[in-house]
Structure 1
Amino acid sequence: MTTTGHAPGHGPVALALRVLLLLAYPVLSHLASLRDEGRWAALALAGLAVLCLLEPLARRRLWAWAVLVAASLLLFWLGGSHWAWMLLLAPPVVFPLLVAWGFARSLLHGQVPLITRIVQALYARADMPLTPALHRYTRRLTGAWAGVLSLLAAINLGLAMSAVPDGLLAAFGMQPWWPVTHEQWSWCANVADWGLIGGFFALEYAVRSQLFPQRPYRNALDFMRQMGRLGPAFWRDLLR
């Protein structure tokens, strides 16, 4: 039992740990690429495993701890080979695709677009109505995020195929048409990706501010603060 009223894995400590692990992954992955060191790659992937299993770990689920121990032992063993670095090629492709699917799935008939749900919750907290124009905009924005993340995954897949000497094509004995080094791959997958996402977010916020001046937040910082106040339960259920 907890004394804070938060379910295990969803309190402020768990949120802080999630953010820390999320920020640590690209740093460790980039170090692994710069140093061409499998141990750093294994450490980055181990942190990612903790991030994915954090909720069941906090709930003391035996299967989650068994999976984490098995994954850690496997990564420690792979850390001495090039396979650990090759595994780093997967997350920049898989995770954007999963999130893109979450956005795209919410556009299906009978579903509420994901961005619409977020905006509805923000406006409801301020007791403000969601206009038809804003509803249409949030639906289109949901589709735009699905497209941006899918494009990002496709770019990262192309880079994963072109990496040398341990990329996907090189693993099958094929020479990439446009080879990139580990370091070049990492600057794109671990740094430029976040710049693209941040740039799209900033551009969209500027457009939205012009189109919808009446809104329940004062600026971008207040917007992020208001989103945080929606609570962990809202964000936990958003992509389900």
Structure 2
Amino acid sequence: MSNYDWNSVFPDTPESFKNKVSATLNSLPDKKEIDKMKNVKVFKKGSIRKKIIGALVATMVVGTTVFAAGKVTSITSHSSNIPTYTTIPTVQQVKKDFECNPKLVNKFDNGYTFVNGYIGDNKGTDDKGNFAGKTKSLDFDYAKGNDKLSLDMENGRLGERSKKETVAANYKGIDLYYYSYTNKFVPANYKMTEQDKKDKASGKYVFSFGSDKEKMSQVQGLNWMEDGVYYSFLGIDSNISKDELVKMAQQVISTK
């Protein structure tokens, strides 16, 4: 499936939100299982340049992925570009704001430290615009030097698990699912070569159209479900390894 360079589409939004949009589209079931993405609409109250507070609404038409309440043709995510938290919140704060009780980590043993946190809302609708499931999300950005990661926590999971995800480990009875792929960003008017077509068909690259120049980007993630909360690590061009992600997930699971 061809995709857009979401980092350029949403230039001034939280890193976790841009990562989430990219991962949501690129980790969907294979092309045989879904229709191609048809349209993208972005609405924002106020000026992006001036960072005026407002909700970003990204409507992504993603085919016929099965969600909790039926087949969904679009996902709408709302997230402010202003952090909800600039320091790690307390359990009481999160339980009040998020209406759920995820496990919180301020600093991981490998050095990744909390930077910002955002509250978001996600809703699925079918091709007739009917409601087909929703979740509330808590998106945390972490940094270790110049390296960045995001950890998304949702009070449930929308959609089926992608076939791209494989079980990396089982910890305390919980399966940890890992995925990775290489994005090849190209300009909107880029004409795919025969080699490009072979690379796309083989899964070597996921092609993303809309970048100002050609570039490669490595995407990887790890996710799991525990006590009704869906946790998802995401790294784009991160130095972190698969084993490190597994250890970070284990630290979250072991948090009291």
Q: TM class, shorter-chain normalised?
A: under 0.3
> 1 or 2, which has the higher helix percentage?
1
TM-score under structure 1 normalisation?
0.28
Q: Which has the larger radius of gyration?
A: 1
TM-score under structure 2 normalisation?
0.27
> 1 or 2, which has the higher strand percentage?
2
